[in-house]
C-alpha cells in the first residue's frame, strides 16, 4: 500500500463527498481505473455457463421499500440508547423468528467505549447454512447518527433501506436456501461516529465482530464480505470503491452486466471508509456497495441529503432497491462459482 492510498483509508464519507464536489469542476479530470482484463474475461466466461440466481430466487424491491417505510414508522430515530434504537432491534428480530427457532439467529452484545461514555451495542447475525464449507457475509448498519439525535434525521437511505434490503434477502434465502456457501446476514450497530469520525470513533460493531471472529476461527471461513450502504437513492450509481478487493469489484461489474444494471455502477470512483475496513485489515476479501452521491449539492447542503433532515422516504425508490437486491443475489451466485 502506497502513501497516497494509505491516506485515503483515513478519510470519512463526508470528506469523500467534499472531494467529489471539487472533482465536478470541468477543469479537473476524474481519475480512471483500468480493470484487469484477464480477470474480467474469466468472470464473463464463467457467467455464460449458468443462469442468474435471480431467475429462480427473486428479490422484490417493492417489498424492501415497504419494509423501509415500516421501519421508519416504528423507529424513525435509531441512535444508540434511544427508544427508537430498541424498537429497530425488535423490528429486525421479528422478521427472523423462523431462523431464531432453528438456532440460526445470534445476538452479539458488547459494550463500546465512546466519546459519550460506555454504550451497549448489538450486532445481529442471521445464518443460512449452505452445502459447501465457507461463508458469504452481507452486512449493513441499522442505527442512525448519534450527533444528529437532536434534529429530525431519519436515515431512510443511510441505514433503514439497507436494513430492509437484508430482510428481503433473508426472505429469499428462507425459500431458496443456499446451494453453495452459507450466507450470513449481519445487522451491525455503531457504524456512525458518536462524536467525530476517527479510527476509534466509528465502525464499532464491525470492529468488534472482526476481532471476535478472528479469535474464534470464523474469519478464515469467510469467502467474501459485502457491505450495503446508501443504495436506495432514486438516482442510483454505485461507486467503484478503491478500498474494496479488486476481484470483487471486477465481479460486481459482471453482476451488473448479467442483471442488466450496468448503467447503475461505477460512474464514480472513491476510497470509502466504511464497515468493510475492519475485515479488510484482517485479510478478508471485501466489497463496499455504496452510492455516496446522494441528492443535489448546494451551499447550504454541500453533501446533498447525506446526514441531513432530507434523508427521508421520498428520496429513495423501490426501483433502486430492486437493482441493489438483484446485484447482491447475483454476487452470491458468482462467488459460489469462483474456484
On the 0-12 / 13-18 / 19+ scale of CB atoms within 10 A, 69 is: middle
Poorest-pLDDT segment among 37-41, 66-70, 180-184: 37-41
pLDDT mean over 203-230? 98
- The span from the CA of 252 to the CA of 231, in Å, is 14
- What per-residue confidence (pLDDT) applies to 4? 28
Q: Is the pLDDT of residue 56 over 70?
A: no
pLDDT mean over 79-92? 97
- What per-residue confidence (pLDDT) applies to 15? 52
Cell numbers standing for residue 266: 461505477
Q: Is the pLDDT of residue 90 over 80?
A: yes
Report the largest interatomic distance among the alpha carbons of the chain, rounded to a whole angstrom: 59
Q: Is the pLDDT of residue 209 over 70?
A: yes
pLDDT digits (tens, 9 = 90+) for 2-28: 222 223 333 445 454 444 444 433 333
Going by pLDDT thresholds of 50, 70 and 90, the confidence category of residue 52 is: very low
Closest CA to 316 of 159, 170, 144: 159
Cell numbers standing for residue 51: 443462469
- What per-residue confidence (pLDDT) applies to 339? 87
Q: Is the pLDDT of residue 41 over 90?
A: no
The model's pTM is 0.85
- What per-residue confidence (pLDDT) applies to 57? 77
Residues 6 or more apart from 165 whose CB is under 8 A from it?
64, 140, 228, 231, 232, 321, 324, 325, 328
- Across 34-48, 50-64, 205-219, the highest mean pLDDT is recorded for 205-219
> What angle do helix axes 83-94 and 61-74 make, rounded to 10 degrees?
140
Per-residue DSSP letter, 186: E
> What angle do helix axes 61-74 and 161-175 make, rounded to 10 degrees?
130
**Structural domain spans, the chain:** 60-337
Going by pLDDT thresholds of 50, 70 and 90, the confidence category of residue 120 is: very high
Going by pLDDT thresholds of 50, 70 and 90, the confidence category of residue 247 is: very high
Closest CA to 326 of 249, 238, 260, 227: 260
- What per-residue confidence (pLDDT) applies to 282? 98
Q: Which CATH architecture has domain 60-337?
A: 3-Layer(aba) Sandwich (3.40)
Residues 6 or more apart from 190 whose CB is under 8 A from it?
80, 112, 114, 119, 121, 141, 143, 203, 204, 205
**Cα→Cα distances 164→64, 72, 136, Å:** 5, 10, 19
pLDDT mean over 51-78? 85
pLDDT digits (tens, 9 = 90+) for 281-293: 999 999 999 999 9
Poorest-pLDDT segment among 19-28, 153-162, 171-180, 200-209: 19-28
Amino acid at each position: 500500500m502506497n502513501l497516497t492510498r494509505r491516506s485515503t483509508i483515513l478519510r470519512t464519507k463526508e470528506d469523500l463527498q467534499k472531494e467529489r464536489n471539487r472533482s465536478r469542476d470541468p477543469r479537473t479530470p476524474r481519475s480512471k481505473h483500468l480493470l484487469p482484463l484477464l480477470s474480467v474475461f474469466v468472470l464473463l466466461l464463467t457467467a455464460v455457463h449458468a443462469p442468474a440466481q435471480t431467475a429462480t430466487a427473486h428479490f422484490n424491491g417493492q417489498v424492501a421499500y415497504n419494509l423501509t417505510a415500516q421501519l421508519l414508522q416504528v423507529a424513525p430515530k435509531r441512535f444508540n440508547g434511544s427508544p427508537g434504537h430498541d424498537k429497530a432491534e425488535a423490528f429486525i428480530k421479528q422478521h427472523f423468528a423462523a431462523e431464531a427457532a432453528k438456532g440460526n439467529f445470534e445476538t452479539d452484545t458488547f459494550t463500546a467505549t465512546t466519546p459519550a461514555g460506555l454504550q451497549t451495542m448489538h450486532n445481529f447475525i442471521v445464518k443460512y447454512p449452505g452445502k459447501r464449507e465457507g461463508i458469504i457475509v452481507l452486512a449493513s448498519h441499522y442505527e442512525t447518527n448519534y450527533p444528529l439525535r437532536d434534529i429530525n434525521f431519519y436515515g431512510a437511505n443511510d441505514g433503514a433501506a439497507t436494513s430492509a434490503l437484508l430482510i428481503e434477502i433473508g426472505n429469499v434465502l428462507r425459500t431458496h436456501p443456499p446451494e453453495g456457501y452459507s450466507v450470513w446476514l449481519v445487522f451491525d450497530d455503531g457504524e456512525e461516529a458518536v462524536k467525530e469520525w476517527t479510527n476509534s470513533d466509528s465502525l464499532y460493531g464491525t470492529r468488534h465482530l472482526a476481532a471476535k471472529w478472528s479469535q474464534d476461527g470464523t474469519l478464515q471461513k469467510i469467502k467474501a464480505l459485502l457491505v450495503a450502504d446508501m443504495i436506495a437513492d432514486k438516482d442510483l450509481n454505485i461507486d467503484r470503491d478503491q478500498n474494496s478487493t479488486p476481484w470483487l469489484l471486477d465481479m460486481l461489474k459482471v453482476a451488473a452486466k448479467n442483471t442488466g444494471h450496468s448503467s447503475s455502477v461505477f460512474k464514480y470512483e472513491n476510497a470509502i471508509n466504511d464497515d468493510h475496513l475492519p475485515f479488510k485489515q484482517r485479510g478478508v476479501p471485501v466489497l463496499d456497495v455504496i452510492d455516496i452521491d446522494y441528492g443535489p449539492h448546494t451551499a447550504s447542503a454541500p453533501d446533498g441529503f447525506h446526514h441531513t433532515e432530507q434523508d427521508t422516504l421520498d428520496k429513495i425508490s423501490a426501483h433502486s432497491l430492486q437493482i441493489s437486491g438483484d446485484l447482491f443475489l447475483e454476487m452470491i451466485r458468482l462467488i459460489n462459482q469462483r474456484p
